[in-house]
Amino acid sequence: MRTEKNYEFRKRISQVHRENIRNNTLEINDNEYELKDGLVVFLSPECGEVTYTAAKDFCDYLFVSMNVSASVKKGKPVNEDNFIYIKAGENSADFGNCAGKSGYRIDVSENIKICGFDERGAAQALYFLEDIMNLRKAPYIKKETVINKPLFSPRMVHSGYGLDDYPDEYLSAIAHQGRDAILIFVKDVDLTPYGYLDFNDLIRRSAKYGIDVYAYSYLKHAAYPEGEKGEAYYEANYGKLFKCCPGLKGVTLVGESMEFPSRDPHVTAELYENNTVNGIPTGKLSSGFYPCMDYVELVGMIAKVVRKYKEDADIVFWTYNWGGLPEEERIKLINALPEDITLQATFEMYHSYKIEDVTESCSDYTLSFAGPGEYFKSEAKAAKKKGIKLYSMTNTGGLTWDFGVIPYEPMPYQWIKRYKEMRNAAENYGLCGLMESHHYGFYPSIISKLSKLALMQNSKLPEEILIDILKDEYGEYCAGEVDEALKMWSEAITHYAPCNDDMYGPFRVGPSYPMCLDRVINVYSDPKALFGNCICVPGYFDGNSGRNTFYKVKCSISNLRIRRELDSITVMKDYMDKGIEIIEKIENKNEALEFLLNLGKFISHSINTTINLKKWYILKTKVRAEETREAILKGIDELEALARAEIENVKATIPVVEADSRLGWEPSMEYICDKEHLLWKISQVEFVINSELDRWRKSTLM
């Protein structure tokens, strides 16, 4: 593979249509319709900008991918026999069980007729035809009727192009992947953590692709939400936002980003950064991390001032930060919430389970457990009983915090387990909307294609969809081998240990994570990054042991867990390497398959770093407790050997990140595991060997 410069991945994810994928040797079948040169896409009068944008895109697809010329016209075909006719509107056809937002009907016979329940449905129908031709490798469409709609809406994603950065080409890619809403971090009108952004321009540009815009609130909450003063305060931020930007679809509220001076006796009045008295922790949570009963007043006040300017604004209240607290406290708050807001609960977090004789817990977003967790189920039941809308953070854009600096997790069979449980949640609890990525963003991939098609009303079995996608992406000749490799990787992720120590440590940044001995050194970060290195905790275990100190205990102490986790992720690496070996043996790999192989290698190197860090912690702890010179010197030699093995692992990672500029990058941290940071890691470990371990050795001999 060639070497990429930093950010070059943006060109790849902005290329919606692949060039010249038509196989001219393929012949049309008797039951197929051919889209030929001169095709006209006719739009009925009710079709607006969304349909027009999708129709132009469809013509571009035909030209770029299939070598077929086409054009768009308004009106109804008269004498033409080579056309697509598009109507939009809920009364335009019989939609069966797909009558609803973004539903569509496609009738293919001697021509093609598309009826969208709304304009977004018409657009998704055209994208579906593109998917069919991609797989067929020819402009041939089977003569049949297809009726479908997405199971969930909204399907919200953050930008994977750059933090709050949404160029038109990327918006088009999002729409093609079936997502209908985006999120932006909002500090004020036209202000994100990265600076100025014209919100109304983004809303306008997104709308033509059928995409809504949600504000993810970073607004201030310094006033108590009570009385005229409280209303004036929230009018001046939330009210002002929706007054200036009424095109916003809604706002997402999450505890850690909306701390306020709560009067709930269970919490401290201080914000979590200052939750101490004379430097000593108070032992209480702050308001962002507890289901304070006066969130009822706060959410109600926000809804009140927002709906002065947008009556149907979607007020999404996300309970992410206190999902690990007792059910009774959480449900009490849900039961008191206003009925015209939306509750959002994370799908898999806080689930506890056993590894041998110790308890492990899903400390953050993870694919290792398909879900749903008890926290989600308890809140979903409460939402259903109360009759309020239910969304979930499912990460089904393709990535979780299992690995912080990769584009997506290529473990489709574990994702499929989650899709099936999400369908059950829709049926059992009324789950209707999704948040599908957080600030690591959305990256179009085989997984996002799979979740798009698998989470439709009338979808095929996801396993069948997957095989179609693999044939399209990597070639029919090797789809079977790739599928076997992905089964290995899907098994691998089930052996991941989703503990704080790893998810905020070596798995957060990959092999650039420092190997500390005497002094704690953190990987350096880009000054302009939103979070930089602050969500990567250095000093493995020593540095992480204080995280979430005041949360309800959900897992065993690290001393007990570390060896079980080491055994488990060693099995994980074995499965990853088996999958890598299968793909490496495939001859004539196309570029897409090379990128997949490269991604697998980066994951394997990241696991290797975590294995080395666990061994490093165990060994340095043991050496510090030894009482004889012989035992200490033996341990120092073992530490040096382990450090040198990690240097070799880092060196092997360098060509991997050079080949794919998306590896080692995350929007809120920027580049933190590219070649430059990996070279820094080598220098950091060499410092430990040449300075700190050398001092240990010399002082032992004194």
Q: Does pLDDT of 413 surpass 70?
A: yes
Write out the two tokens for 345: 């609960």
d(CA 307, CA 240): 11
Determine the angle formed by the axes of helices 295-306 and 227-234, rounding to 10 degrees: 60
pLDDT at 547 over 60: no
Tokens 């319709």 sit on residue: 33
User: Average of pLDDT values for 275-280?
Assistant: 74
Q: Which of residues 282 and 243 earns the better pLDDT score?
A: 243
Give the residue with greater pLDDT, 286 vs 690. Answer: 690
The angle subtended at Cα 308 by Cα 305 and Cα 313, nearest 5°, is 85
DSSP annotation string for 64-79: HHH---EEEEES--SS
Q: Residue 42 phi/psi, 5° resolution?
A: -95, 135
pLDDT at 287 over 60: yes
pLDDT at 546 exceeding the cut of 50: no
| Residue bearing tokens 């060109």 | 11
- Please give the share of the chain, as a percent, with pLDDT higher than 90: 89
Identify the residue with better confidence: 286 or 272. Answer: 286
The structural domains of the chain, ordered by start, are 16-148 (3.30.379.10), 155-473 (3.20.20.80), 500-701 (no CATH)
The least confident of 97-106, 244-253, 275-284, 567-576 is 275-284
**Is the Cβ–Cβ distance between 221 and 258 less than 8 Å?**
yes
Task: Provide the pLDDT for residue 549.
Answer: 44
> Mean pLDDT, to the nearest integer, of 496-502?
92
Supply the pLDDT for residue 539. Answer: 83
The tokens describing 386, both together, are: 């109360």
Chain segment 339-380, per-residue pLDDT in tens: 999 999 999 999 999 888 899 999 999 999 999 999 999 999
The pLDDT value given to residue 624? 95
Residue 191 pLDDT greater than 90, yes or no = yes
pLDDT band at 271 (very low <50, low <70, confident <90, very high): low
Q: Is the pLDDT of residue 584 over 90?
A: yes
Once rounded to an integer, what is the mean pLDDT over residues 289-317? 97
Q: Is the pLDDT of residue 635 over 80?
A: yes
Q: For residue 553, name the pLDDT band (cuts at 50, 70, 90).
A: low
Average pLDDT, the chain: 95
Span 188-199, mean pLDDT? 97
Q: What is the pLDDT of residue 268?
A: 85
Give the angle subtended at the CA of 349 by the CAs of 343 and 351, to the nearest 5°. Answer: 125
For residue 267, give both structure tokens.
């919490």
Question: By C-alpha distance, which of 300, 218, 225 is closest to 257?
Answer: 218
Band the pLDDT of 274: cuts 50, 70, 90.
low
DSSP β-bridge partners for residue 84: 41, 112
> Is a pLDDT exceeding 80 seen at residue 270?
no
Q: What integer pLDDT is reported at residue 79 of this predicted model?
A: 79
pTM: 0.96
CB distance 7 to 662 below 8 Å: no
- Give the HSE-up count for residue 213: Cα atoms under 13 Å, Cβ half-sphere: 27
Kindly tell me if the per-residue pLDDT of 548 is higher than 80: no
Alpha carbon distance 449, 466 (integer Å): 9
| pLDDT higher than 90, residue 680 | yes
Residue pair 510/606 in contact (Cβ under 8 Å)? The answer is yes
List the one residue out of 496, 500, 695 whose CA is nearest residue 606: 496
* Sequence-separated (6 or more) residues with CB below 8 Å from residue 134: 18, 21, 65, 472
Write down the H helix ranges in 446-536: 446-454, 462-474, 479-493, 500-503, 506-509
How many C-beta atoms lie closer than 10 Å to residue 183's C-beta?
A: 26
| pLDDT of 394 higher than 50 | yes
Q: Which pLDDT belongs to residue 273?
A: 54
